[in-house]
Amino acid sequence: MKEGIVNVLRGALAAAVIWAVVAPAPAAAQGTAKIAVIDVRRLVTDSLAGKEALARLRKLQEDKIAEAKSKQDEIDQLRKRLNEGRLSLADDKIAELEKQLEEKVTGFRRFQEDAEKDFNKTQEQTFAEIERRMAPVIEKAGREGGYTLIFNKFQSGLVYADEATDITDQIVQRFNAVAAEPAPAQPPAKQN
């Protein structure tokens, strides 16, 4: 009895496989699907908003580096004073300089950690804002272009895409045009 059920299941599975192979494919598989890809990295590096965001991030990074260098210079000067004074300073003064050095080094490490966290958070927020602003542009291009699917070229698991399917330049142009439009006028604030 068990063998009969197994044979029936095998037969049903074989029939399902054969049906899947010979049955008419859905419309999307018959070539009516229109697929495109976009290079999100280029959307950031080539769009006006992306360039502005990258410039702001670069400035923030440069500011943090300059501040870190200033703090490192303070530490280096304190070390130098400590090393030069080891022979001429009293033990209590040396201990005081060592304590100052230790506090500066600890503060510097905290600064580095905080600066990295702040930069990463700012970068994440900046790119999320660009993505938020770009999503309607991509969606509109998809609808107007009759695309069934638009993939992120390098983060979708895609291993090959014909360059003819890449609409990144079109999206960058559309996004720049939208970004260049003046913001809608805000109604005047009511005065009490």
Q: What is the pLDDT of residues 87-134, one digit of tens each?
A: 888 889 989 989 999 999 999 999 999 999 999 999 999 999 998 999
> Residue 2 pLDDT more than 80?
no
Cβ neighbors of 171 (< 8 A, separation 6 or more) are 38, 43, 134, 137, 138, 141
CATH number where 53 lies: 3.30.910.20
Q: How far apart are CA 26 and CA 89, in angstroms?
A: 88
User: Model's pTM, two decimal places?
Assistant: 0.66
What is the pLDDT at residue 163? 83
Give the domain extent around 153: 31-177
Q: Is residue 148 part of a domain?
A: yes
Q: How far apart are CA 90 and CA 103, in angstroms?
A: 20
Structure tokens at 94: 């040396």
Q: Is residue 110 part of a domain?
A: yes
Q: What total number of domains does the chain contain?
A: 1
Q: How far apart are CA 84 and CA 92, in angstroms?
A: 15
Q: Is residue 20 part of a domain?
A: no
Q: Is residue 187 part of a domain?
A: no
Q: Is residue 188 part of a domain?
A: no
Q: Is residue 3 part of a domain?
A: no
Q: Is residue 88 part of a domain?
A: yes
What is the pLDDT at residue 185? 58
Cβ neighbors of 145 (< 8 A, separation 6 or more) are 34, 36, 167, 170
Q: Is residue 24 part of a domain?
A: no
